Amino acid sequence: MRALIVTNMYPTPARPHAGAFVAAQVKSLRDIGIELEVWHLDRQEGGRAVYRGASRKAGHLLAEYEPDLVHVQYGGVLASQITRAVRDRPVLVSFCGDDLLGSPGGSMLDLVTGGLNILASRKAAARAAGIVVKSRNLFEALPGNVDRERVWILPNGVDLSRFRPMDKRDCQRRLGWDPARKHVLFPSPPDRTEKRFSLAEAAVTQLGEQTGRTKLHSLVGVEHANVPIWLNAADVVLLTSSREGSPNAIKEALACNVPVVSVNVGDVAERLEGVARSYLAEATPVDLADKLRRVLEGAGRSNGYERMSELSIERVAAKLRDVYETLVAGRDVAPSSPLGNVSSG
């Protein structure tokens, strides 16, 4: 099996944390014997200009590598161009979140660009031979003309050899965090509008008025290799996003047995099912603060690592290999549920 991965999210020397989950998936597929070439169009560095001539470049790469399948990691303009250009072999598109849902807020230009991005995603979905979405809400966001029997719900896997429970005090010492304080980790840069940092900040401010000595940290500019240290140093991870697919930070926090407080977004409710000391909250400072207080006044970790075994990166890679083989073989897909090829783990 040979595949060409086309993506606008991938680590670079300048941005080593960008698209880390794509790089991890590439490695996991290579580990099980799939030959992969990666074509990275660096959207962050080159802007939308990187998409110019993408169709022509795709043709050259197909001739050079002769892949059995093309896998586009992220929707939008890139996926639309590739699904239009590649017609002689299967194209699989992975939709991740705002490529189907859009991003709220921002400038008028951001809103217009986001709308065009969704339109391009819908066109790509209609043309693709197969589709992977990370969560059920993304499945439901697909256009009605998409055959649900060629859609798989498959969240990103977690590398349980890296994301695992570590000694909290040791991690705090390595980061210089005061062990006498309670530490809340917001797992995203504050400037991403859809993550709603202001809501997280308001919740922690209210919590501080009740309990004192609570510190809010943001996961920004942290190399992916160091993320497990930040997660394990935290007393709780707080997610306040308005839109998500299957947020990697939540799965990684659970794999570290770190308690989670989150609004009900994406597949978080499914991920937190059966997990101790973790809560869903209303998207208000009052309820978020109340759930944070419950975690911080308790003791011990969560049992998230046990739950994440079903989403180990190895198991997800094996399922994705099955998707590849199905598309390459051209087999009819027998739906496993009324929603089509639904796989939650």
- Of 109-113, 195-199, 249-253, the one with minimum mean pLDDT is 109-113
pLDDT digits (tens, 9 = 90+) for 219-229: 998 888 899 99
Q: Are 310 and 267 in contact (CB under 8 A)?
A: no
User: Are domains 2-157+312-342 and 168-308 of this chain identical in fold?
Assistant: yes
Q: Is the pLDDT of residue 269 over 60?
A: yes
The domain defined by 2-157+312-342 folds into Rossmann fold (3.40.50)
- List CB contacts of 300: < 8 A, sequence separation 6 or more: 277
- SS3 annotation, 199-236: HHHHHHHHHHHHHCCEEEEECCCCCHHHHHHHHHHCCE
Boundaries of every domain in the chain? 2-157+312-342, 168-308
Total number of residues shown for the chain: 345
pLDDT digits (tens, 9 = 90+) for 112-148: 677 888 999 999 999 999 999 999 999 999 999 999 9
- Would you call 61 exposed, middle or buried from its count of C-beta atoms within 10 A (0-12, 13-18, 19+)? middle
Distance separating alpha carbons of residues 22 and 123, to the nearest angstrom: 23
**E strands along the chain, which residues?**
2-7, 35-40, 69-73, 91-95, 130-133, 151-153, 182-186, 214-218, 236-239, 260-263, 279-281, 341-342
* The predicted structure's pLDDT at residue 123: 96
* The predicted structure's pLDDT at residue 44: 81
| CATH class of segment(s) 168-308 | alpha beta
Tokens of 80: 């639309």
What residues are paired with 215 via a beta bridge?
Answer: 183
* The predicted structure's pLDDT at residue 331: 55
pLDDT digits (tens, 9 = 90+) for 287-336: 999 999 999 999 889 999 999 999 999 999 999 999 999 999 985 544 43
Q: Is the pLDDT of residue 105 over 70?
A: no
